[in-house]
Amino acid sequence: MADSNSSPGSPGENPKSNPDANPPSENESSIETLARKVQESLSIEKKHKFWETQPVGQFKDLGDSSLPEGPIEPPTPLSEVKQEPYNLPNLYEWTTCDIDSDETCTEVYNLLTNNYVEDDENMFRFNYSKEFLRWALRPPGYFKSWHIGVRAKVSKKLVAFITGVPAKIRVCDEVVKMTEINFLCVHKKLRSKRLAPVMIKEVTRRVHLENIWQAAYTAGVVLPTPIATCQYWHRSLNPKKLIDVGFSRLGPRMTMSRTIKLYKLPEKTLTPGFRKMELHDVPAVTRLLRDYLSQFLVAPDFDEDDVEHWLLPTENVVDSYLVESPETHEITDFCSFYTLPSTILGNQNYSTLKAAYSYYNVSTKTPLLQLMNDALIVAKRKDYDVFNALDIMQNEPLLKELKFGPGDGQLHYYLYNYRIRHTLKPSELGLVLL
């Protein structure tokens, strides 16, 4: 249900290649145009053979209003779901990765750290912490059997990994039980072994055994067929370091001192009643979030257990802040970001880029611009180097004003075994996948 070592925005999707770039116009970035270009550029042999066999939206069906929205294939009776794992090449075997085990979590961490998503120029690679992996992979109701590894039979070395976690996602008016697929990673030396399709089929089989038939995932590459295409934007918090490591570059007619001054933020947050979220805030935040997310066509259906897991602050994993009215003590606004550093490859002075990723933000009384600016101030105070945000939900109009620059890559959202007839604009999407 996912393909290629791609995940939310390549770590080096940054504005350095063209700091003055404008995001593509709606016409240029429409899925139909994208699909046509992809199809024209592929020979018959190189079309998505695997994905053309799967229940996903196909490029050829785009614009066909006769096709029904909803599940593409009906559920199979559980007795007919394949009971045995799919066959791997002879030298390899399946393993279920117990992420609670320090030893296994370290193995997964090392595999991802050395082999997961890199930018096109091989300058940065995602560096998920072990705490982050445990947060990402153990939401309420998670299945250990969906944390799937591949080992070399002889050495027992972990050489590949893929995961699913359960989620309730509302698509239009329908709340659908799904799995979110992530962390598909194959060791660099084994990329020719065609392990990825087998791993996708195996995680799909295990998900089906739990009577779940839909999935959501993202990729930096175009597959059949995105439900939405979004763009990452980047806000410099430590511009000198970002320029030194090649993440961004000095703008035309700009000096380093002028650049540092341009991105300078206040020392203190500006909103009265702005504070860190605490456990007793979970019911109020859940109400705020559910009400806010109801306006988007695709969004998570969070309950209080989900909010406690995904949004209660965890050091170096997720930060959440809210606005409590000093007069009424009502919780009126909320903002959050998660921590995903990147390893800096081949730089003598720096080894890690500390990045914050905008997560869920809800504004009812405080202007969203002010709320996100306070999030930037907090992130800067906590020594983050860059703050990243997708142009989804209500983010896009604020990004330029907050001095974000557009990245040079796109993030495509997909649903497995669920059809949406029309492509969503980023502003119709209320879902953030890690």
The residues that are catalytic are 434
| Three-state secondary structure call for residue 193 | helix
Q: How far apart are CA 62 and CA 99, in angstroms?
A: 40
Place of tokens 């940054």: 14
Distance CA 107, CA 157 (A): 8
b or e along 357-385 (b: 16 or more beta carbons within 10 Å of the residue's beta carbon)?
Answer: bbbbbbbeebebebbbbbbbbbbbeeebb
Determine the Cα–Cα distance for residues 18 and 27; give it in Å rounded to an integer: 21
Q: Please, where are the H alpha helices in 70-147?
A: 102-115, 130-137
**Cα dihedral 41→43→48→52 (10° resolution):** 110
For 262-385, strand residue ranges (E) read 274-276, 298-300, 318-324, 331-339, 342-344, 352-353, 355-358, 362-363
The DSSP code for 17 is G
Residue 92 Rama label (left phi>0; alpha psi -120 to 50; beta)? beta
